[in-house]
A and B are shown apart, each in its own frame.
Chain A
């Protein structure tokens, strides 16, 4: 600790680096829900033109990995009504 203090050149560079890392994460987190919301709306609009399903039985999840991110869409379709094509209006 004392050695660290001896060679200390000011703490501003540490503050700057911490902020840059933190804000990079927070900005991604902020933009994510919106992107998911838009994807959800548009995917459901397309599917509902062809298949009847309940909107609250739909799960959309996004995983951000280091090299690849995945978008997982899970739609529960009730048996029987499954593939009845909704009439195009």
Chain B
């Protein structure tokens, strides 16, 4: 049974696209059939982060308008054959995404993949609400910082009211993914701690991704961080999060940013 996930946040720049690529690649690496969809019409970037920007021929809007068949628009990853990308269009037309069109594409993808991961645009407008529309579960990406936490709270409200599941009286399963976390700064009281964020948003934690130069390095070369350097701290945290999505019980490790013996000892476990 296919799972439709939306990766969302409200606020921009918190790591939705990075997380979509990293989790999609991690799930595919573990043998799952995965498609990642870019919903950011007009400002697509998932293709770039995945390193497929030169292979885009058709896109989501072309499929919705019947210009291309779904299989023509899907781009197969060169590293993992069971990972596909459905890119967004660069059109400026905001109404290019239609409710029925998105429903039809998601329904068709459900027959072909185990995981359908929708990368939401920032904001709470049409693109964002359509990205979450058919989700079975949501990953709310949050930075431990006031504006991001506030916007996440708003998005949680939308997930509980504007999704197809919510309208049927069901609940969209929600997972919190805290990104760009500095454990040392949180320990010094300079940054909201994991417990602070969890208490405020009262949403179950999917993972903690540490702030890391590896994330920028990965996007520079066009590779999900989980494929670029699978042993790096953020990659290990994403692999753990992907296994939790599959229902595995993986102990939550608060990633340390001290490069000491502790890091090595605890780091091993997560690999």
Contacts and interface: CB of A to CB of B under 8 A. Distances in A.
A12 B190 contact: yes
Nearest to A10: B189
Interface stretch (A17-25, A54-62, A71-79): A17-25
B200 A12 contact: no
B8 interface: no
A63 interface: no
Interface of B: 145-146, 149-150, 153-154, 157, 186, 188-193, 196, 200
A26 B200 contact: no
A10 B146 contact: no
A42 to B, nearest CB: 18
A26 B191 CA distance: 23
B200 A20 contact: yes
B200 A10 contact: no
A16 B200 contact: yes
A34 B153 CA distance: 18
A1 B189 CA distance: 19
A19 B149 contact: yes
B153 A12 contact: no
B150 A22 contact: yes
A30 B157 contact: yes
B167 to A, nearest CB: 13
Nearest to A22: B150
Nearest to A20: B200
Contact of B200 (A9, A13, A23, A30): A23
A5 B118 CA distance: 45
B186 A12 contact: yes
Given A19-B150, A27-B153, 4 more contacts: A18-B146, A19-B192, A26-B153, A27-B157
Contacts of B193: 12
Contact of A12 (B150, B154, B157, B189): B189
B184 to A, nearest CB: 12
Contact of A15 (B146, B154, B157): B146
Interface in A1-52: 9-13, 15-16, 18-20, 22-23, 26-27, 30
B189 A11 contact: yes
B146 to A, nearest CB: 5
